[in-house]
C-alpha cells in the first residue's frame, strides 16, 4: 500500500480516469468516428463503384471493338469469298461460252461445207444436164446432117439409150 501511495496510485483517481476514458470513447464514437468513418466508407464505396463501372464500360468498349474487328474481318472474308465465287463463275461461264461458240462455229462450218457441197452438186447436176442436152442436140444435128431420116432416127434412138445409161 505504501508503494502504491508513493507511486500516487489512488483507486478513486483510477476509477475517475477509467470513467474519463469511457466517456471520451463514447463521445468520440458518437460524434466523430461514426460520422467521419461513414463519410470515408461512403466515399470509398462510391470510388469502388465508379472504378467498377469504369472497368465495366472499358470492357464493354473493348468487347465492342473486338466485335467490330471481327465483323470487319468476316465481311472481308465474305467479300473475298463472293469475289472468288464470282470469278470462278465468270471463268466457268467464259469457258462455257467459248465452248458453245466453238461448237456453233463448227456447226456453222459444217453446215456451210454441206451447203457448198450441195451447191457444188447442184451446179454439177445442172452442168451435166446442160451438157447432156447440148450433146443430145449436137448428136441429133450431126445425125440429121450425115444420115437420112430413117437412119438418123434409128441411130438417135440408140444414142438416146446410150445417153440415158450415162444419165443414170
Partner 1 sequence: MHISLAAERLFTIAGIPITNTLLVSWGIILLLFVIALLISKNLSSEKPKGLQNFIELIFEKLLDFMGSVTGSRKDSIKYFPLIATIFIFVVLSNLVEIIPGLGTIGIMEGEHGHETLVPFLRSSSADLNFTLAIAISAVLSIQIFGIAALGFFKYWKKFFCPPWEKPYFIGTFIGILELIAEVAKVISFSFRLFGNIFAGEVLLTVVLVLVPYLAPLPFLFLEIFVGFIQAVVFSMLTLVFIKVATAHH
Interface contacts to partner 1, rule CB under 8 A: 5-10, 12-18, 20-25, 27-33, 35-37, 39-43
How crowded is residue 152: how many other Cβ atoms within 10 Å of its Cβ?
Answer: 19
Which C-beta is closer to partner 1: that of 23 or that of 107? 23
If you search the block for the grid coordinates 469511457, which residue do you land on?
A: 22
Of 66, 44, 70, 43, the C-alpha closest to 58 is 66
Which C-beta is closer to partner 1: that of 31 or that of 68? 31
Closest approach, Cβ 53 to partner 1, in A, equals: 18
Which C-beta is closer to partner 1: that of 21 or that of 68? 21
Closest approach, Cβ 49 to partner 1, in A, equals: 14
Measured distance CA(116)–CA(122) in Å, rounded: 10
Q: Find out whether 159 and 139 touch, Cβ atoms under 8 Å.
A: yes
Amino acid at each position: 500500500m505504501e508503494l502504491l501511495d508513493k507511486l500516487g496510485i489512488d483507486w478513486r483517481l483510477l476509477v475517475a480516469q477509467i470513467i474519463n476514458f469511457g466517456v471520451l470513447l463514447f463521445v468520440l464514437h458518437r460524434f466523430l468516428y461514426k460520422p467521419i468513418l461513414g463519410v470515408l466508407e461512403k466515399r470509398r464505396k462510391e470510388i469502388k463503384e465508379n472504378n467498377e463501372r469504369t472497368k465495366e464500360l472499358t470492357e464493354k468498349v473493348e468487347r465492342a471493338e473486338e466485335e467490330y474487328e471481327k465483323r470487319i474481318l468476316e465481311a472481308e472474308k465474305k467479300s473475298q469469298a463472293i469475289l472468288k465465287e464470282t470469278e470462278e463463275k465468270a471463268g466457268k461461264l467464259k469457258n462455257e461460252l467459248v465452248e458453245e461458240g466453238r461448237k456453233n462455229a463448227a456447226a456453222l462450218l459444217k453446215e456451210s461445207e454441206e451447203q457448198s457441197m450441195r451447191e457444188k452438186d447442184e451446179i454439177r447436176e445442172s452442168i451435166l444436164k446442160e451438157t447432156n442436152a447440148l450433146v443430145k442436140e449436137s448428136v441429133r444435128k450431126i445425125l440429121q446432117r450425115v444420115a437420112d431420116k430413117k437412119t438418123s432416127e434409128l441411130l438417135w434412138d440408140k444414142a438416146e439409150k446410150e445417153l440415158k445409161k450415162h444419165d443414170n
